[in-house]
Chains A and B, each alone.
Chain A
Amino acid sequence: MNDVPAVEVKNLVKDFKGALGVKNVRAVKDVSLQIAPGEVYGLIGPNGSGKSTTMKAVLGLVAPTSGATSIFGRNSLKVDSRNEVGFLPENPYFYKHLTAAETVRFYGKLCGMRGRKLKERIGELLELVGLQDARDRRLRGFSKGMLQRIGLAQAMVQDPRLLVLDEPTAGVDPTGSRQIRDLILELKNRGITVFLCSHLLEQVQQVCDRVGIIHQGVLVNEGRLDELISVENRTEIILENASENLLDQIRSLVDVTHQAEVVSEGNARTTLEDLFLRETMSDAKRKAVSK
Chain B
Amino acid sequence: MSRQASISFFSLRRILIVAQSTVTQLVRMKVFYFLAPIALLFVGIQFLDLIWYQGAETLQPEQELRMHKNICLGTMMVFSSMFGIVATALLIPGDIEDRTLYTILCKPVPRFDYLVGKLLGVMAVIFIAMVVMDVLLVATLHFRTEEKLVEATQYMKKLDYPEADLAAGRAEIAAHGPTLVLQYGVIAHFLKASVIAAVALLISTFSTSTIFTIATSSMIWIIGSFQSVAREALFTDPISGGDPNMAERILNTFVSLVFPDFKLFESITDGAVRAENVLQADMTQLGGLAAIYVGIYVVLSWFVFSDKEF
Interface of A toward B, CB cutoff 8 Å:
56, 59-63, 79-80, 82-87, 89, 91-95, 97-98, 102, 106-107, 109-113, 151, 154-155, 158, 164
Contact = CB atoms under 8 A, between A and B. Distances in A.
B130 to A, nearest CB: 23
B102 A87 contact: yes
Interface of B: 1, 3, 6-7, 14, 17-18, 21, 24-25, 28-29, 98-100, 102-110, 307, 309-310
Contacts of B307: 63
Contacts of A154: 103
Contacts of A79: 7, 108-110
A93 B108 contact: no
Nearest to A155: B103
Given A84-B3, A95-B25, A98-B24, A61 B102 contact: yes
B106 A112 contact: no
B102 A111 contact: no
A93 B98 contact: yes
A112 B24 CA distance: 20
B69 to A, nearest CB: 36
Contacts of B100: 93-95
Given A95-B100, A107-B107, A56 B310 contact: yes
A106 B106 contact: no
Contacts of B103: 87, 89, 92, 94, 107, 151, 154-155
Contacts of A97: 24-25, 28-29
B7 A93 contact: no
Given A93-B99, A111-B107, A80 B25 contact: no
A62 B28 CA distance: 32
Contact of B17 (A59, A110, A158): A110
A42 B68 CA distance: 68
Nearest to A62: B309
B17 A111 contact: no
B105 A83 contact: no
Nearest to B109: A110
A79 B109 CA distance: 7
B32 to A, nearest CB: 14
8 contacts: A61-B309, A79-B110, A82-B105, A83-B3, A86-B106, A95-B100, A110-B104, A111-B108
A82 B108 contact: yes
Closest 5 CB pairs of A and B: A87-B106, A97-B28, A93-B98, A112-B1, A62-B309
Nearest to B111: A79
A163 B131 CA distance: 45
Contact of A106 (B3, B21, B310): B21
A106 B109 CA distance: 12
Given A61-B102, A95-B25, 17 more contacts: A61-B309, A62-B310, A79-B7, A80-B6, A83-B3, A83-B108, A84-B3, A87-B102, A92-B103, A95-B100, A98-B21, A102-B24, A109-B17, A110-B107, A112-B108, A155-B103, A164-B106
A110 B307 CA distance: 21
Contacts of B18: 110
A86 B98 CA distance: 18
B106 A61 contact: yes
A105 B18 CA distance: 12
Contacts of A62: 309-310
B106, B109, B310 pick with most chain A CB within 10 angstroms: B106
A112 B6 CA distance: 13
Contacts of A93: 98-100
A137 to B, nearest CB: 14
B55 to A, nearest CB: 58
Contact of B108 (A80, A89, A91): A80
A284 B310 CA distance: 44
A79, A83, A98, A151 pick with most chain B CB within 10 angstroms: A79
Contacts of A95: 21, 25, 100
A84 B27 CA distance: 33
B118 to A, nearest CB: 12
B93 to A, nearest CB: 14
Contacts of B108: 79-80, 82-83, 110-112
